[in-house]
């Protein structure tokens, strides 16, 4: 088989032929031949782009196809090598970085590169929408005479207060389908104002088998929340309300934790909450006979607002009424204005063991927890211990001096905390759960619903002293300082940095209060990185 002529200085003449022109079998390997000196001389004089002519001319079409396939395989293998080589280079870079850290500053260039931060802008919506949902009326499951254990009725209506620095406010009562047409909690919306919306309700109850005062915050809807308080033991009725103020349905899972851990239950998952409605659950139907309760509420589809109502009856004696507000599981919690009262001796009577001040804790993952009790006179008691994951632990506060106490809780893993305070008197008993709060910054109008002896508690979470303002009046607050003053119904404007704020109520036989939640994401705007 002859090779055709080529034009130019490197042309090949007709004398160049294959030495062996016998056919090549399909299974045979490609045959190779050594180029002659004449061919090498011609190749040396050819242009660089011509390649290895002596080898090229030895190829048949079948050999070329085989070599192309092999080349494709080699290219894939080379990509794999580059990929793993990149990973190895990254690992080597990390090793060099660690080595540089060990060597110290002398290993760095004499003039380090200049570090710059990307410019950011906080974009605040021109008309931000914030919403809060209140717990609603006091509810009773079953009739007072015991004739219908499943009957659900409203026994007292709340009074709602709103704190806002501006914007457009709207209110809507949410229906409770299982409540025979009665309304549930109030959904409150604020549009056009960036500062935090605040709302709270006051709920005094005095009927045949329930008496007490509950003041609770109208909370921002959430996908994940915890309720620290409640009991389903004999004589304690705990009712869980779940409100959905959005325009889409929510599916809710409820988990009850007790001293032995999460309680196995049926019917506590996939609870449907229709748009703009509220559902009511008897907690005893999910977790009966649990004395120390923490409830976890998780929602999908839409955020919800959950509250836990508890009433206590000891025989024929009414033992109080309370509404527990939701909190978030974080590594810190601050409980302001907890009243530790002197022992009365009533706690030694049968059924009165829960009529004492108590700190309730639950650790999600277990581990060390540190608790600091700060009295009004500045004295401090510190305690440290180990918590088991998922188990509710109650710590009676009989060793803490009587008075108003600030409780600071910190842990290495997320925890939730609440403190029970009590009012014991001849004309009645009551109790209240103080929710563990988180710091808030800026200026906000805190709602103050009516109630006896309303008192504002402001606690600093900052280790630096600062000047705060309360209704425009300057107040000097030291590092981790505390401020307390009486307030009137309506609202009170508080401004400062890293503050936890609560409002407490008390008379001889009633006690109540709420801890204001920090600013939610709906008011915070969006940070844009340029």
pLDDT per residue as tens digits for the range 387-431: 999 999 999 999 999 999 999 999 999 999 999 999 999 889 999
Question: Exposed/middle/buried for 49, CB within 10 Å: 0-12, 13-18, 19+?
Answer: exposed
Give Cβ neighbours of residue 416 (< 8 Å, ≥ 6 apart).
Answer: 226, 228, 294, 327, 328, 329, 333, 361, 362, 364, 436
Q: How confident is the model at residue 211 (pLDDT cuts 50, 70, 90)?
A: very high
* Per-residue pLDDT tens over the stretch 356-382: 999 999 999 999 999 999 999 999 999
User: Of 170-179, 325-334, 512-521, where does mean pLDDT reach its minimum?
Assistant: 512-521
pLDDT at 81: 31
* Per-residue pLDDT tens over the stretch 153-176: 899 999 999 999 999 999 999 999
What average pLDDT does this structure show over 491-506? 98
Cβ atoms within 10 A of the Cβ of 435, count? 28
The fraction of the chain above a pLDDT of 90, given in percent, is 65
Whether residue 90 is predicted with pLDDT greater than 70 in this model: the reply is no
Q: How confident is the model at residue 152 (pLDDT cuts 50, 70, 90)?
A: confident
Whether residue 462 is predicted with pLDDT greater than 60 in this model: the reply is yes
> Residue 204 CA to chain centroid, in angstroms?
32
The fraction of the chain above a pLDDT of 70, given in percent, is 73
Residue 343 CB-half CA count within 13 A: 14
* Per-residue pLDDT tens over the stretch 43-68: 555 444 444 433 343 444 444 454 55
Q: Bigger pLDDT: 61 or 471?
A: 471
Burial track 510-525 (b if 16+ CB lie within 10 A, e otherwise): bbbbbbbbbbbebbee
CA distances to 15, 144, 384 from 309, in Å? 106, 17, 31
| Both tokens assigned to 474 | 């300057």
Closest CA to 205 of 489, 431, 422: 431
Q: What is the C-alpha separation between 127 and 122, in angstroms, rounded?
A: 15
Whether residue 123 is predicted with pLDDT greater than 80 in this model: the reply is no
* Per-residue pLDDT tens over the stretch 345-354: 888 999 999 9
Helix (H) or strand (E) holding 256: strand 250-258
pLDDT at 469: 98
In the three-class reduction of DSSP (H, G, I as helix; E, B as strand; rest coil), residue 101 is classed as: helix
Residue 471 CB-half CA count within 13 A: 11
Closest CA to 201 of 156, 246, 258: 156
* Per-residue pLDDT tens over the stretch 270-299: 999 999 999 999 999 999 999 999 999 999
Tell me the average pLDDT of the chain.
Answer: 82
Domain ranges of the chain: 66-107, 129-160+182-529
pLDDT at 267: 87
Question: Exposed/middle/buried for 439, CB within 10 Å: 0-12, 13-18, 19+?
Answer: middle
Closest CA to 335 of 317, 319, 316, 357: 357
| Both tokens assigned to 375 | 């009295």
pLDDT at 5: 44
Closest CA to 269 of 289, 251, 245, 290: 251
Whether residue 34 is predicted with pLDDT greater than 70 in this model: the reply is no
Q: What is the C-alpha separation between 54 and 58, in angstroms, rounded?
A: 7
In the three-class reduction of DSSP (H, G, I as helix; E, B as strand; rest coil), residue 102 is classed as: helix
Whether residue 446 is predicted with pLDDT greater than 90 in this model: the reply is yes
Q: Bigger pLDDT: 465 or 72?
A: 465
What average pLDDT does this structure show over 435-439? 96
| Both tokens assigned to 330 | 């974080």
């Amino acid at each position: 088989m002859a090779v055709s002529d080529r034009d130019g200085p490197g042309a090949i003449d007709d004398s160049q032929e294959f030495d062996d022109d016998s056919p090549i079998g399909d299974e045979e390997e490609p045959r190779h031949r050594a180029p002659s000196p004449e061919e090498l001389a011609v190749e040396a004089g050819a242009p660089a782009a011509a390649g290895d002519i002596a080898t090229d001319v030895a190829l048949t079409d079948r050999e070329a196809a085989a070599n192309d396939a092999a080349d494709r395989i080699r290219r894939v293998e080379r990509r794999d090598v580059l990929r793993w080589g990149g990973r190895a280079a990254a690992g080597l870079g990390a090793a060099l970085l660690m080595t540089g850290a060990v060597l110290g500053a002398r290993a760095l260039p004499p003039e380090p590169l200049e570090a710059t931060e990307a410019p950011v802008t906080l974009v605040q919506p021109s008309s931000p929408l914030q919403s809060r949902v209140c717990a609603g009326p006091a509810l009773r499951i079953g009739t007072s005479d015991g004739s219908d254990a499943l009957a659900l009725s409203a026994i007292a209506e709340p009074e709602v207060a709103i704190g806002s620095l501006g914007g457009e406010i709207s209110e809507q009562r949410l229906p409770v389908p299982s409540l025979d047409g009665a309304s549930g909690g109030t959904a409150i919306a604020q549009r056009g104002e960036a500062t935090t919306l605040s709302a709270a309700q006051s709920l005094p109850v005095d009927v045949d088998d329930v008496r007490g005062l509950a003041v609770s915050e109208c909370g921002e809807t959430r996908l994940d929340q915890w309720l620290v308080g409640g009991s389903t033991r004999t004589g304690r009725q705990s009712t869980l309300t779940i409100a959905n103020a959005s325009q889409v349905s929510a599916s809710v899972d409820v988990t009850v934790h007790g001293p032995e851990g999460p309680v196995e239950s049926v019917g506590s998952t996939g609870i449907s909450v229709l748009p703009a409605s509220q559902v009511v659950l008897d907690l005893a139907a999910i977790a009966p006979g649990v004395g120390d309760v923490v409830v976890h509420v998780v929602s999908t589809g839409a955020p919800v607002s959950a509250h836990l109502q508890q009433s206590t009856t000891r025989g024929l004696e009414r033992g109080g009424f309370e509404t527990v507000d939701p909190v978030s599981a974080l590594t810190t919690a601050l409980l302001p204005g907890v009243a530790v009262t002197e022992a009365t001796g009533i706690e030694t009577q049968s059924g009165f063991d829960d009529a004492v001040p108590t700190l309730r804790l639950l650790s999600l993952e277990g581990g060390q927890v540190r608790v600091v009790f700060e009295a009004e006179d500045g004295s401090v008691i510190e305690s440290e211990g180990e918590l088991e994951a998922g188990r509710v632990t109650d710590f009676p506060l009989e060793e803490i001096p009587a008075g108003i106490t600030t409780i600071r809780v910190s842990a290495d893993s997320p925890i939730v905390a609440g403190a029970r305070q009590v009012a014991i008197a001849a004309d009645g008993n009551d109790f209240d759960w103080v929710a563990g709060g988180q710091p808030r910054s800026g200026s906000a109008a805190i709602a103050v619903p009516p109630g006896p002896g309303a008192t504002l508690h402001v606690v600093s979470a900052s280790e630096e002293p600062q000047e705060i303002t309360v209704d425009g009046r300057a107040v000097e607050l030291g590092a981790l300082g505390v401020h307390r003053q009486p307030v009137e119904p309506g609202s009170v404007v508080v401004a400062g940095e890293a503050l936890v704020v609560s409002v407490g109520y008390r008379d001889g036989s009633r006690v109540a209060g709420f801890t204001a939640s920090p600013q939610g994401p709906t008011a915070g705007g969006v940070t844009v990185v340029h």
